Amino acid sequence: MLGEILENVRERSPLIQNITNYVTANDCANITLACGASPTMSDGEEEAEEMGRLCDGLNINMGTLHPRSVKAMLLAGKSAAGFGRPIVLDPVGAGASTYRRETAEELLREIPFTAIRGNISEIKTISGGRNSSKGVDADAADAVTEENLEKTIALARDFSGRTGAVIAISGAVDIVTDTKNTYIIRNGHPVMAKITGCGCMLSSLTAAYLAANPDRKLEAVAAAVITMGLCGEKAYEKMAEENSGNAGCRNHLIDEVYKLTGRELERGAKYELR
């Protein structure tokens, strides 16, 4: 089932429009190609509406916000929604500034997101109006632990109910949930927190998996999260073998997504479904 989701991406090769940040845009484009989809990365407001129509899926990433990109996000989001395309929100650093917080609120008001993927600090911020964050990375004080797991699942389910979106909280433990069913995923490696763009790349993958599997939203998001974690594990092994650093690991990560088969995804998945 999870393997079939990846195979559908390869077979259907959806076009994914990313309105994203300039820090990790190239990695997002490459990981989109690696999973079998096709990326566009344009953020001009002049073509946003057309791109929203043309694409099979849209990924909106708040990493390096400015008024022009926000306009493009709103235009593309409304256009894509009108054509029934899946739309992903990555609320990068949502709690870091008033501008980010208010933009996240506006995007959530105006666009019917299919999935929202962020680290725990970002999801806490946009689900509850909390005002703190450690820049674009999760604050260690927010970390999901065995002790607060149930509470975090409840928060994510509640947020899913209020937005209609599948919620994916990433970190050492990943939570993917709608209002009823929850995947608790334990793939991944701590080195992934040392590679900028792991979250952004995961959001691009999520849009691709959703676009190729529109009727299996929860499973599609879970498969994207498991793909990222599993390929992070494989990339770490390569990094350790060659004694390289985080940049080498980043390249291996994209390569591992390129090579991953549906069968390997199913065999390597570490999750519990509740």
172 binds, among ligand ADP, ligand TZP, Mg ion, none (CB under 5 to 8 A by kind): ligand ADP
Residue type, 191: V
Q: How far is the CB of 117 from Mg ion (least distance, A)?
A: 8
For residue 196, the Cα-to-chain-centroid distance in whole angstroms is 14
**Which residue, 21 or 30, has its beta carbon nearer to ligand TZP?**
21
Please give the distance of CA 256 from its chain centroid, rounded to a whole number: 18
Here the tokens at position 253 are 């990560």
Read off φ and ψ for residue 12, nearest 5 degrees.
-95, -20
Q: What are phi and psi of 115, to 5 degrees?
A: -145, 145
Q: Which is nearer to ligand TZP, 8 or 203 (CB)?
A: 203
Sites of contact with ligand TZP (CB under 6 A): 21, 23-24, 63-64, 92, 136, 196-200
Nearest approach, Cβ of 249 to Mg ion (angstroms)? 17
Measured CA to CA, the distance from residue 6 to residue 164 in angstroms comes to 24
Q: Which does 84 bind (CB under 5 to 8 A by kind): Mg ion, ligand ADP, ligand TZP, none?
A: none
Task: Give the whole-angstrom CA distance, residue 103 versus residue 196.
Answer: 22
Among Mg ion, ligand ADP, ligand TZP, none, the one that 63 touches (CB under a kind-dependent 5 to 8 A) is ligand TZP
**Chain positions contacting ligand ADP, by CB under 6 A:** 119, 137-138, 170-172, 174, 188-190, 192-193, 198-199, 202, 228-229, 232
Q: What residue ranges bind Mg ion (CB under 5 A)? A: 92, 199
Q: Which two tokens stand for residue 190?
A: 């701590």
Number of neighbouring beta carbons within 10 Å of residue 261:
12
End-to-end CA distance of the chain: 16
Does 117 count as an annotated binding residue?
yes
Nearest to 61 by CA among 48, 70, 53, 71: 70
Residue 192 annotated as part of some ligand binding site: no
| Token couple for 104 | 């996240």
> Cβ 63 to ligand ADP, closest distance in Å?
9
For the bound state, the minimum distance from the C-beta of residue 64 to Mg ion, rounded and expressed in Å, comes to 12
State yes or no: 84 annotated in a binding site: no
Binding-site residues, in ranges, read 41, 117, 170, 197
Question: Residues annotated as binding site for ATP?
Answer: 117, 170
Binding-site residues for substrate, in ranges, read: 41, 197
